[in-house]
Amino acid sequence: MNKTIQLQDLGNQDYKETWDYQEVLFKQILDIKIKNRREEAGLETPNHFLFVEHPHVFTLGKSGDFDNLLVSEKELAEKNATFYKINRGGDITYHGPGQIVGYPILDLENFFTDIHKYLRLLEEMVILTLAEYGLKAERSPGETGVWFDVGTPFARKICAMGVRASRWVTMHGFAFNVNADLGYFDLMIPCGIKDKSVTSLNVELGKATVNEAEVKEKLLKHFKTLFEASIIEKTEA
């Protein structure tokens, strides 16, 4: 089992360009797995972890409700935002500047074969990272992601998650609001959940901005521990 993960930070990159790149990496892993099963080739499958920040974009999961987007695509264009219906689970979400987006593209057979556990570990990675800033985050029963003040009128989400998996290979991932412009969340019903709001790390800390590179380091530290993985930086696509 290969528990080495190739890390790439793509910087600020268009959503569709990144989605296409995810699909390439995803297919490469699937092709190796298919070859192994047909030919007993015994080839090692790679694992990837992409960090990226997207320009303003709204994405709707395959089971999502288009009505949860509260403005027209014309109005989105006026706000320099785009829209895509995509092949992950979950409903509608937003990506934009000030948000750390992570796409682990893993062969879970290198780690464990349990999608529920995979999502819970991604949540735990964020919960542990927030704890380093003195913040107590938690899960909301039946609602994937990371939240504050669950069960109160002040419940708010700081990290959304949505994944796709095939033959135990994952893609898509998490979106962690660090210095996000929360006004864009008013243009939709986030994840189709009407009675809870959204927050960002800088808001919770009462700061103008939070060092995003530092947040990424903390996320990776906890990811490595939780997945018992090693991480190497890949400098070229």
Catalytic residues: 191
Q: Which residues are annotated as a binding site?
A: 88-95, 160-162, 173-175
Distance from the first to the final alpha carbon of the chain:
24
Cα three-residue angle 145-149-155, rounded to 5 degrees: 70
The token pair at 158 is 């700081």
Q: Which residues are annotated as a binding site for substrate?
A: 88-95, 160-162, 173-175
Write the burial class of residue 193 (CB in 10 Å: 0-12 exposed, 13-18 middle, 19+ buried): middle
Cα–Cα distance, 110 to 185 (Å, whole number): 36
How many CB atoms within 10 Å of residue 185? Answer: 20
Write the burial class of residue 141 (CB in 10 Å: 0-12 exposed, 13-18 middle, 19+ buried): exposed
Strands 82-85 and 138-140: unpaired
User: Which letter, b or e, does each residue of 9-34 get, where b requires 16 or more Cβ atoms within 10 Å of its Cβ?
Assistant: ebeeeebeebbebbeebbeebbebbe
Cα–Cα distance, 59 to 78 (Å, whole number): 17
